[in-house]
Amino acid sequence: MAFSTTTIKLWTAPNPNQNLFWKTIIPEWEKTHPDIKIEWSQIPASGSSEEAILNAVASG
């Protein structure tokens, strides 16, 4: 029986320490959850994280 894959989009603020954490933990987590894929990216540069999120939602 095949299962569908769920994709989770994860945005984080640009931060070198957090980047190292996510680059390390996501592949390990995906190994134990093969039916879930994490699409990680940093919030695009803008005036604030709230502004970046609102722009992303507004643009679809």
1 domain-assigned:
no
- Residue 54's pLDDT is 84
- Structural domain range at position 54: 6-59
φ, ψ for residue 18 (rounded to 5)?
A: -65, -40
Whether 2 has a pLDDT exceeding 70, the answer reads: no
Per-residue confidence band for 5, with pLDDT thresholds at 50, 70 and 90:
very high
Which are the contacts of 51, defined by CB distance < 8 A and separation ≥ 6? Answer: none
For the chain, how many structural domains are there in total?
1
Looking at residues 5-21, what average pLDDT do you find? 91
Distance CA 35, CA 57 (A): 26
Distance CA 17, CA 27 (A): 17
- DSSP 8-state assignment for residue 9: E
- Residue 20's pLDDT is 94
- Model pLDDT for residues 21-60, shown as the tens digit of each residue: 999 999 999 999 999 999 999 887 667 778 878 887 888 7
